[in-house]
Amino acid sequence: MSLLDRPIQEIHDGLRKKDFSVRELVEASLQRIRAVDEQVKAFLTLDEEGALKKANALDRRLAAGEAGGLLFGIPAGIKDNIVTKGVRTTCASKILAHYEPIYNATVMDKLDAADAVMVGKTNMDEFAMGSSTENSAFFPTRNPWDLERVPGGSSGGSAAAVAAGEVVFALGSDTGGSIRQPAAYCGVVGLKPTYGRVSRFGLVAFASSLDQIGPITRTVADAAYVLQAIAGHDPYDSTSADVEVPDYTAALTGDVKGLKIAVPKEYLGDGIDEGVRRRVLEALEVFASLGAEWEEVSLPHSDYAVACYYLIAPSEASSNLARYDGVRYGVRAEADNLLDMYKQTRSQGFGPEVKRRIMLGTFALSSGYYDAYYLKAQKVRTLIKRDFERLFERYDVVIGPTAPTPAFKLGEKVDDPLTMYLNDICTIPVNLAGLPAISIPCGFSDGLPVGLQIIGKPFDELTVLRAAYAFEVHTDHHKARPAL
């Protein structure tokens, strides 16, 4: 077994027993990246020197008998929209192709405090806008299970890196499903925490009321470890919630007796692949055998979620991306006057999908259309949130598929943005309502991984993790590995 194939707890046991060193662990990660990343293309930037330097420092502490942090020595990949001091942060865009931040995101400081080791920055859809990682300005990432298929997006590089065994865990960001959908496509675990549970300070903004950082891992227990390390209130983030962080590992009991599960009929209706539907129903049978109870319910406003999201998210993106004007940082186009410099910089620096969303958002916010589009979408968002609130009065979790189909082929939907947008139909309502949700492997359809989505009450990641862990320990889906 590869050192990187072990869960975090087992790696820590091996380090304590001196079966291997942190340097050997990090070198195994870098060696694996050199061996397979030419095919997978999960990484945009590697920080070999920084990773090995930190590994040596951690080994010295280990030899001195010092107690280590929660993620001591664990190699990690970081999505390239999370700023890293002194390490290039591009958002997979031309406009930030050479940007080196002078500060760390709060999650990076927390990972440093937990003694994790960043080996590099992972590929993504440009500015996190996309569902396939084909919108990267540099190159598309490929799915380790089938190199002719997409890994999902926008955190496709992070999911592919974990699935390919290049790192033990990765961080992604989730605005409308960008952690959970690629986790489903790549057969790994992806956790989107409650909005405000993890600081967004240092996350390059796409849609500020929707974005949330979370972990992508091989197992549910590993996701609990990483969430424990990165969760908590941050005074640098005004949307960070001052809510106590519980012990997430305490949720890993395997017991779901009496758990009440809601299964929305809208999540298993038209447009859901038959193989995906079967895997979800089989998963519900596993829960029933463990003493949980499930019932079909309705989320009546979920049909409007995609339309609602594609007004709110582009509107916020239009505002957030106005700062890329060639004046302060990033690429600057040569021009004869200021106005032309603005136009040329943004024309040359942004890709087609980013331009599309900026234009959609600017239109929705423009005079005469604000009330008809953006304000109406916010009202619908409230109705979607209330649907969940009503369900959670009677049920503990909501369960359904993470994505309507398994991974599609590279290039298959590039010219059809509407079909691409509908790919997030199962994940978007969770972001609109600000809820926690996890995607875990629940089997295969046509040889490709299928993800099961478990949605919880606000700040109740404990119950989400408890349900996910119970399913994981009673099945073997998470043990499957792609034949790279």
The domain segmentation of the chain, as residue ranges, is 3-259+396-479
Please name which of 52, 44, 56 lies closest in space to residue 84, comparing C-alpha atoms: 44
Give me the residues paired with residue 405 across strands: none
pLDDT band at residue 414 under the 50/70/90 scheme: confident
Q: Are 249 and 9 a contacting pair, CB within 8 Å?
A: no
- State yes or no: cis peptide before 154, omega within 30 of 0: yes
Please name which of 100, 7, 4 lies closest in space to residue 47, comparing C-alpha atoms: 100
Q: How many CB atoms lie within 10 A of CB 25?
A: 23
What is the overall mean pLDDT for the chain?
Answer: 96
pLDDT at 418 exceeding the cut of 80? no
Residue 1 has a pLDDT of 67
pLDDT at 422 exceeding the cut of 80? no
**In Å, how far are 110, 215, 232 from 248, measured between CA atoms?**
16, 13, 12
Residues with Cβ within 8 Å of 117's Cβ and at least 6 positions away in sequence, in order, are: 22, 25, 26, 51, 54, 55, 58, 73, 74, 75, 76
- In this structure, what token pair is assigned to residue 452? 């099961």
String of DSSP letters for 33-87: HHHHHHHH--EEEE-HHHHHHHHHHHHHHHHTTPPP-TTTT-EEEEETTB-BTTB
For the segment 108-161, what is each residue's pLDDT rounded down to a tens digit? 999 999 999 999 999 999 999 999 999 999 999 999 999 999 999 999 999 999
pLDDT at 417 exceeding the cut of 80? no
For the segment 349-402, what is each residue's pLDDT rounded down to a tens digit? 999 999 999 999 999 999 889 999 999 999 999 999 999 999 999 999 999 999
User: Once rounded to an integer, what is the mean pLDDT over residues 412-439?
Assistant: 89
The active-site residue out of 79, 110, 121, 192 is 79
Please name the residue that has the structure tokens 């330097």: 53
The active-site residue out of 136, 178, 318, 439 is 178
Q: How many CB atoms lie within 10 A of CB 204?
A: 24
Active site residue 154: yes
For domain 3-259+396-479, the CATH architecture is Alpha-Beta Complex (3.90)
Burial class (CB in 10 A: 0-12, 13-18, 19+), 418: exposed
For the segment 48-91, what is each residue's pLDDT rounded down to a tens digit? 999 999 999 999 999 999 889 999 999 999 999 999 999 999 99
User: Once rounded to an integer, what is the mean pLDDT over residues 183-189?
Assistant: 98
Q: Are 168 and 217 a contacting pair, CB within 8 Å?
A: yes
Half-sphere exposure of 118 (CA within 13 A, CB side): 28
Whether this model's pTM surpasses 0.85: yes
Q: What percent helix, strand, coil does the chain show, rounded to 5?
A: 45, 15, 45
Q: Are 255 and 470 a contacting pair, CB within 8 Å?
A: yes
The active-site residue out of 154, 155, 199, 302 is 154
CA distance 289 to 157: 36
Active site residue 178: yes
- In this structure, what token pair is assigned to residue 92? 């997979």
Please name which of 93, 217, 183, 110 lies closest in space to residue 439, comparing C-alpha atoms: 183
Helices marked H in 334-427: 338-349, 352-365, 376-391, 417-421
Q: Are 156 and 182 a contacting pair, CB within 8 Å?
A: yes
Question: Which secondary-structure segment (H or E) carries 220?
Answer: helix 220-230
For the segment 308-338, what is each residue's pLDDT rounded down to a tens digit? 999 999 999 999 999 999 998 888 999 999 9
Please name the residue that has the structure tokens 């280590």: 68
CA distance 327 to 83: 20
pLDDT band at residue 438 under the 50/70/90 scheme: very high
